[in-house]
Copies of this chain bind each other. A is one copy, B any other.
Amino acid sequence: MSAAADAPFDTDSPAAVRRAIREGRHRGFTNLLARRHVQGNLMIVPAAQADAFAEYCALNPRALPLLGRSEPGSPFIPALGRDLDLRTDVGGYTVFVDGEPVDTPRDITSRWRDDLVAFVLGCSFSFEAVLQAHGVRLRHLEEGNVSAMYVTGVPTRPAGPFGGPLVVSMRALRAADAIRAIAVSQRYPLFHGEPVHLGTPSLIGIADLAQSYGGHGLTQLHDDELPVFWACGATAQLAARQAGLPLCITHHKAHMVVTDLLVTDAASNPLCEADL
């Protein structure tokens, strides 16, 4: 391993994190890096399906809040990061062919095509730092986990070939923390906004918390904890599989797109205008 490969990097800087990933110096998940900055889900589809996918996002904004979309054939979205290269700057990818996962590479330069369009969608990792700043205890982080995900029985609104169930992320929170997390997260619609459910999992079609999607995260609740569920961008992965696209590439697990956008710039309060 070269000296460069061992070099530490500024874990608060999105550009430094992307460079470390690109150069193979960071191979882990991104959820605890560059926490003042927005992270996103990656979804790459052929141009022929891009407009349908954009419509699917617009119909399901809680799960799929659009942060950016590339021009056809371009792996760049400059508004999200000046040097961002979506072929090399995400720590892991899943390649789907005809709806089936066929590869999980660390770089998709050789897979890139002139007709691909990349979408970046909001991710709940972006508000976890905000929650902690507000004193919310996130036990899954203390225990070295990412948040658990579940496939629900709640259908999304379909568009073109895209459809399927809503996927959610779950955080095990004590009641006072659940209340605070709801109050805080509703101000961030670009990161899925407030939860879609809390309490009894079966009411949204989750039969067993021990069976998480992907097998990650806390699945055991303490007696004083409630499961709190947010809509999740992994909804797009299930939709892509169901659509059986000839080619689709997503981020892999908790390797997200690290952008230059500031989390605080995404704060808004959609309730203000809806009030009495």
Contacts and interface: CB of A to CB of B under 8 A. Distances in A.
Interface string A173-195: 00110111011101100000011
Contacts of A203: 175, 224
A132 to B, nearest CB: 10
B176 A197 contact: yes
Contacts of A274: 134
Contact of A271 (B184, B226, B272, B276): B184
Interface string A253-276: 000000000011001010110111
Q: Which residue, A183, A196, A198, A274, has most C-beta atoms of chain B within 10 A?
A: A183
A260 to B, nearest CB: 16
A231 to B, nearest CB: 12
Given A36-B276, A275-B267, A276-B36, A194 B183 contact: yes
Contacts of A267: 272, 275
A199 interface: yes
A236 interface: no
Nearest to A35: B276
B183 A275 contact: no
A36 B267 CA distance: 28
Given A36-B276, A224-B203, A275-B264, A198 B183 contact: no
Contacts of A179: 182, 194-198
A199 to B, nearest CB: 5
A129 interface: yes
A48 B131 CA distance: 44
Nearest to A228: B179
Given A176-B196, A195-B179, A198-B175, A275 B224 contact: no
A196 B177 CA distance: 10
Interface string A149-189: 00000000000000000000000000110111011101100
Given A179-B194, A183-B186, 17 more contacts: A130-B275, A133-B275, A133-B276, A175-B198, A175-B199, A175-B203, A178-B199, A179-B197, A182-B182, A183-B183, A184-B271, A199-B199, A199-B226, A200-B224, A264-B275, A267-B275, A269-B272
Which 5 pairs across A and B sit closest by C-beta, in order of nearness?
A183-B186, A182-B182, A175-B197, A133-B276, A264-B276
18 contacts: A36-B276, A133-B276, A134-B271, A175-B198, A175-B199, A175-B200, A175-B203, A182-B183, A183-B186, A183-B194, A184-B271, A198-B198, A198-B226, A200-B224, A263-B276, A264-B275, A269-B269, A269-B272
